[in-house]
Amino acid sequence: MSTVPPPIGLLAELTHRCPLKCPYCSNPLELERRSVELDTETWKRVFSEAAALGVLQVHLSGGEPTARRDIVEITRHCAEVGLYSNLITSAVGVDRAKLDALAEAGLDHVQLSVQAADATVADKVAGLAGAHAKKLAFARAVAAIGLPLTVNAVIHRANIHAIPEMIELTLELGARRLEIAHVQYYGWAFKNRAALMPLKDDVLAAMAVVEEARARLKGTLVIDAVTPDYYARFPKACVGGWGRRSLNVTPSGRVLPCHAAETIPHLEFWSVTEHSLADIWNYGPAFQAFRGTEWMPEPCRSCERKEIDWGGCRCQALAFTGDAAATDPACHRSPMHAELLAIAEADARSDADYAYRGYGAPVPA
C-alpha cells in the first residue's frame, strides 16, 4: 500500500481553556471542555508517533497551552524525541518560573500573540484588562533568557492602521520575527465578520507598509505576512494543501486536516485514542477527502494553478457556498467571487460589537 508524504508540522491544541476571549479565535465555536482533554501519557505517545512519522515541528497551542499543568513535561518529551517545539502563547498565566522551566526543558521557540500596539485597544480585543502589559513583560523575559521570540499580530479593522506601531513594538521587544496575520474568516472570526473585516483600501495600504518594512528591516526582523485572500484574485494554499504538510490534534484527540475542518459535514475524523497518528495521516477518511486534485470540480480541475494553491480553502468554500467541494470563492474564477467580495465590503462598512470567544453559546451581537 502506498502512503502519502509525511507531514512537517503538527498543531497540538492541548486545551481549549484560555484566559483571553479574542473574537477571531481559530478554535471552533464549540470549545472542548477540560473533562475531555487527553492525558499527559497520551500526548507523549502522540508526539513520539509524530516524530516517527516525520513531523519536524510541533506547535504547542490551545487555547492557552500553559493552562495545562503538564506543559513542562510535554515540552521536555518533544525535545527528547527530537521535535522542534514552538510555544504559541498569550503570556497570561505564565510566570518567570514556568518560562525558565520550559526553556530548561528544551523549548525551542516562543510565539506571543499581541493584539494591538496600545493597551486599551489590545485589552478590548482580547477581552481581558491588563493582558497587554503582561505580554510586554513576558516578551522581555523571553529575550532575557535568549529564546527566539515571534510576535503574532492578528490584523483586523481595529488595528490595521497601527501596523507601523506594531512593527516598532516588535523591534523593541527584541523579537526575531513578526507575523502580520490578517484574520481568516472561520469559526469565531466568521461570527464576528461585521466587527472585524477591514476595508479593501486599508488592506492594500497595510500590504504596502509591510513590504516597505520588510525591505528596510532585512536581517534585523523577519516579517511574514498572511494576506487576506478575500480581496485577492487567487486563493491561498490553505495549510499548504489539504493533508500535505500539517495536521491538527484537538484537546480530545480528534485529528483534523485543519482547525476549521469540523465545520464540514460528513467528514469522519479519527482520534488518537483509537488510531496511530500514521494511520490517521495516511488512511483517515477526513484526510483523504480533499487530498490531491482528484476531488476538484471545474474550473479547478483544469486550472493551471491547482498544484500551487491546491484549491484554496474547503472551509471557506463551505462557509460561503454551502458546499465544501466547491471552488473557493476567494478565487476570481469562482461564480461566487463577486458575492464574497460584496459580503466582505458590506461587513467592512458595518459596526458591531464583538461576540467574545468563550464556552457556551456565543453572545449575540
Alpha-carbon 360 to chain mean position: 22
Alpha-carbon 301 to chain mean position: 28
Q: How far is the CB of 145 from other proteins (least distance, A)?
A: 6
- Choose the binding region for other proteins from 23-31, 173-181, 202-210, 325-333 (rule: CB under 8 A): 173-181
179 binds other proteins (CB under 8 A): yes
82 binds other proteins (CB under 8 A): yes
User: Of these, 75, 111, 113, 184, which contacts other proteins (CB under 8 A)?
Assistant: 111
CB 175 within 8 A of CB 151: yes
Question: DSSP letters of 311-340?
Answer: TS-HHHHHHHHS-TTSPPTTSTTSTTHHHH
113 binds other proteins (CB under 8 A): no
Q: Which residue reads 513576558 in cell numbers? A: 138
Site for other proteins in 180-219 (CB under 8 A): 218-219
Strand 57-61 and strand 177-182: the pairing is unpaired
Site for other proteins in 242-281 (CB under 8 A): none
174 binds other proteins (CB under 8 A): yes
Q: What is the dihedral of CA 210, 212, 215, 216, to 10 degrees?
A: -110
- Choose the binding region for other proteins from 104-112, 117-125, 291-299, 307-315 (rule: CB under 8 A): 104-112
127 binds other proteins (CB under 8 A): no
CB 243 within 8 A of CB 290: yes
Helices (H), 219-326: 277-283, 285-289, 306-309, 314-321
224 binds other proteins (CB under 8 A): yes
61 binds other proteins (CB under 8 A): no
CA max distance for the chain: 57
How many CB atoms neighbour CB 194 within 10 A?
18
- Choose the binding region for other proteins from 1-9, 253-261, 263-271, 348-356 (rule: CB under 8 A): 1-9
Residues pairing with 86 in the sheet:
59, 109
User: Of these, 57, 113, 263, 321, which contacts other proteins (CB under 8 A)?
Assistant: 57
Q: Kindly state the number of chain residues that form the binding site for other proteins, as judged by CB under 8 A.
A: 33
Give the binding site for other proteins (CB under 8 A): 6, 8-9, 52-54, 56-57, 82, 84, 86, 108-109, 111, 140, 142-148, 150, 174, 176-177, 179, 218-222, 224
